[in-house]
Structure 1
Amino acid sequence: MMRRLLALMCLCFACSIAYADDAPRTMLRAHLEPSGPIVAGSAVKLVVDALTTTWFTAAPDWPLFDLHDAFVTLPDDSAQNMNEIIDGVRWFGVTRAYRIVPRTSGTFDVPAFSITLHPGGIDTPVTLQTPALQFSATLPPGAEGMTSFFPAPNLTATQRVEPQNGDIEVGGTLTRSVTQRADATESMLIAPVQFGDIDGLRRYAKPPATRNISEDRTGLVAGERTDTVTYVVNRRGRYTLPPLDIEWWNTTTHQRETVHLPAIHLTAHAAHEKPLWEIPADALAGAARHTVIFLDARDIAYACIMLALIAAGVWFYPRIRMWLARGSQWWAAERKKRAEGEFAAWRALRRAVNSGAMQRVVPALYRWMDANPRFTHPARIDAIGRDENPALHALAEAVESHYEHAQAESKSVRVKLHRWTQWTRSRRARGPALPPLNEG
């Protein structure tokens, strides 16, 4: 009797273990590349792996975090699918790499942050935290006394001044623009140019203009940043815009270098004001001094009409501007709605399916389901039932099969999606326009 009871207890324990193993498990891993100290201004990668023992019904939520004295970005092209065997269990997931660029030397503590996962097999999402990590950044020998440490393989700077002749009237404006180009460096890492104040000139800084120059084969080629400042002349005189010295660290020669931009000289003279109606000097001589000037009634009427039109324009201008602004906002909202709507998402899905690459099909399918009001949010693959388009249902089965039987190399998609035909289904659902005949 005791043997039977012991065997029954062992059987129940084994069944509970088997049931527990069927439940999906999730895990987050994070590490830094490189793991050792880096030079300030260079990039370190925070690689995060989101893993599960089943599959993901939706993409993980990847948040951005702040790090003092460092730039943190999450490139769009850093996502990669992965599968790995850990302790005899196969795990599936996705890995992404955050890019961290410290702007100065010191120790940087990467905080722990939460990521929400959507594993298949359960209805509720799972929220996990990444481990807190730490790295240090140092300055190379010879760069300790630099005001702003900026490393780059090569840096060039040019300046442009308008007007170019340096001759300007009081009340006029002078614009000075400085463009920096750094090879193999993102534009957001280029340090801003410091323009000083000048007595007699009012300074107005404009937002910087940045752009990254890249090529298909080589990737990032260079980054450009343009800083622009406008000076308004308050009084006449001679002015000098001081020279600019831009310090940077040459990563090729490992030396500190300086780009020098020369000073700008300008002369401001009093503005010559010409009266609207100027009386010739000879007309005021002799008998013309006692001439009586008569105004025509028609001229007075024209002047009154002009004043009325000016007053009406001043009164209507804010309202017309408000109407134009509303119209512009409406038009921008409509364009954004169409660009992010269901039709655009369907076209992107068709292109992804035609390419045959599963890594393009999965995000395009989720984007279309998120834009489709018939699906819940966040969207799930199993929401596509058999009553849907047969090709769409086949595509959903292909995605589920991809995650269930993922290997080192993704299989191509062999599904053909047709053009968007939602309007035909809606017309058929409406039924006939005429009511049925009264046969009684």
Structure 2
Amino acid sequence: MKRVLLTIFAAFITLAAAAQSPIVQARLEPSHDILVGQPIRMVVTVYVPNYFTGSPDFPEFEIENAIVVLPQDRPTNSNTQIGGVRYAGITETYVIYPQQAGYFHIPREQVAVPYALAPPKSTIAHVPLPTLVFHADLPAAARDLDYFLPTTALTMQQKWSSPMKNLRVGGTIERTVTVTATKMQSMLIPPLQFDAPNGIRVYPEEPIVHDQKTDRGDFVYGRRAQTAKYVVQKEGDYTLPPIELKWWNLSAHRLVTATLPAVHFTAAANTDYVTELPPESEPAPIAPIRHRSLWKQYRSRILITALSGIAGTVLLMMIWRNLPRIRRGLRARRERRQHSETTYFRNLQRACARNNASESYVWLLKWLAVTYPGVSLQQALKRADNPALTSNTNDLGESLFAQSNRDYSWNGKRFAALLREQRKHHRTHLSKHEYLGDLNPE
């Protein structure tokens, strides 16, 4: 009878644990009335029973005809009650910019979630993102444009290198036009056309773009600066045509045109100006034509050209064949640097210095994952055998996830100092272990 009861109890515990699985929720802000080019925030929250034993691995994905800005490593922590069970939560935010009208589907990518299913044992669950679909549209007044620029405010300003006076043939003047759009990426601001009448030569330069963001990665404004040099080639009266840029006002819901007016100026003659083309030389006497074989005349050139072409083709084939491996190597190197122990510990120290408990907790989990692979937070604290570090870590967890209103005295700077001491002790222990291993080879 006791054996039957124990079996039923174990089955009940197993079913209860299975029911308390991680939950992934996602929402779009805004979810409707979306315009092309307008930023859409996809807020993703992962909930786990008990607590996280590491940082969730939010997926990277692409959407056709849209720009996806990945989370900026600034997650927020929370806790909630679901079905009478206490869940801890971590939230990340993606930003999506649709580039054309139509329907867009969020891929069913999976989030890898490490959590304590049966504390202190760590379990990793793979939970897919919810199915989300949104539609982006263009206003009827803007459907004939080559581009669409939605923003709440846009300014266009110009600056000249010198006054438009006393210009002469051969003279040069530089013009810089700057476009600033509120809450917009600079890459979405279209290029401007610098037109000029006959007699004026225009030399445009590469544009300079700049994005101003908040600490959370939201765009404050985007700015595009284009510069061109005007060279006067003939004397006369000139008019540079106006520069126009149409944009959609999100506040007024109408199409607006930003304009720089036409520019009039006069260029005088310049007797000291020398044309860039040299005068024609005297025709040389024509030598008598000698009939020679084309092969004998160009044999060396043909051979050199053929060998160069073959060598270039072989080199291009080798580069093309190894290009995926080179890209994978560079991507892996960048990933290793971004997810290295040194980078995680530096971010952890910065979060502690700002006394930011939420960020400190996330970076602590990431650092522990690479410093103590396969070890949960509680097991790592037990190995450290540092009562002060354990107490401060518990204060950090209670300040984030405790449901009571008691004020926990977690101190970021004190916590950072204890972590530096533990890291130094851990590295010294590893060095001694490696040294003894070298002295006592198996």
Q: TM-score, structure 1 length as denominator?
A: 0.63
CA distance in 2, matches of 1:8, 1:426: 49
CA distance in 1, matches of 2:395, 2:233: 74
The residue aligned with 2:136 is 137
The residue aligned with 1:328 is none
Shift of 1:28: 1.7
State the Cα RMSD in Å: 4.6
Deviations 1:347-404 (A, max 9, x none): 425425xx3x53143134346557xx8x135885232335454432322333455677
Q: Secondary structure at the match of 1:36?
A: coil
- Which residues of 2 match residues 360-375 of structure 1 at below 5 A? 360-366=359-365, 369=368, 375=371
Q: Does 1:94 align with 2:90?
A: yes
The residue aligned with 2:33 is 37
Deviates more, 1:102-111 or 1:409-418: 409-418
CA distance in 2, matches of 1:425, 1:9: 48
Task: Say if 1:168 and 1:408 are closer, same or farther in 2 by CA, change over 3 A.
Answer: farther
Q: Does 1:208 align with 2:203?
A: no
The residue aligned with 1:261 is 260
The residue aligned with 1:152 is 151
Give 1:83's match in structure 2, choosing from 71, 79, 83.
Answer: 79
The residue aligned with 2:389 is 392
CA distance in 2, matches of 1:423, 1:133: 46
CA distance in 2, matches of 1:32, 1:220: 15
CA distance in 2, matches of 1:397, 1:223: 41
CA distance in 1, matches of 2:373, 2:168: 61
Q: Secondary structure at the match of 2:28?
A: strand
CA distance in 1, matches of 2:40, 2:32: 10
Deviations 1:330-362 (A, max 9, x none): xxxxxx99xx6688456425425xx3x531431
Structure 2's unaligned 5+ residue stretches are: 276-336, 433-442
Deviates more, 1:64-73 or 1:154-163: 64-73
The residue aligned with 2:298 is none
Give 2:66's match in structure 1, choosing from 70, 74, 83.
Answer: 70
- Letter in structure 2 aligned against 1:348: R
Task: Say if 1:17 and 1:123 are closer, same or farther in 2 by CA, change over 3 A.
Answer: same
Q: Secondary structure at the match of 1:19?
A: helix
The residue aligned with 1:312 is none
- Letter in structure 2 aligned against 1:351: A
Shift of 1:251: 2.7
Q: Does 1:18 align with 2:16?
A: no
Shift of 1:18: 0.9
CA distance in 2, matches of 1:409, 1:236: 81
CA distance in 1, matches of 2:139, 2:344: 52
Shift of 1:405: 4.5
The residue aligned with 1:348 is 350
Task: Say if 1:11 and 1:212 are closer, same or farther in 2 by CA, change over 3 A.
Answer: same
- Letter in structure 2 aligned against 1:15: A
- Which residues of 2 match residues 277-288 of structure 1 at below 5 A? none
Structure 1's unaligned 5+ residue stretches are: 274-335, 431-440
Give 2:111's match in structure 1, choosing from 101, 108, 115.
Answer: 115
CA distance in 2, matches of 1:426, 1:138: 56
The residue aligned with 2:283 is none
Does the Cα contact within 8 Å between 2:22 and 2:48 map onto a contact in 1?
Answer: yes
The residue aligned with 2:181 is 182
Task: Using the aligned pairs only, state the percent identity.
Answer: 24
- Letter in structure 1 aligned against 2:8: F
The residue aligned with 1:248 is 247
Q: Secondary structure at the match of 2:177?
A: strand
The residue aligned with 1:413 is 410
Does the Cα contact within 8 Å between 2:116 and 2:123 map onto a contact in 1?
Answer: no
CA distance in 2, matches of 1:63, 1:271: 63
Does the Cα contact within 8 Å between 1:105 and 1:138 map onto a contact in 2?
Answer: yes
Deviations 1:213-241 (A, max 9, x none): 7699xx97951412324448596677865
Task: Say if 1:266 and 1:412 are closer, same or farther in 2 by CA, change over 3 A.
Answer: farther
CA distance in 1, matches of 2:405, 2:208: 45
Deviates more, 1:54-63 or 1:380-389: 380-389
Task: Say if 1:350 and 1:145 are closer, same or farther in 2 by CA, change over 3 A.
Answer: closer
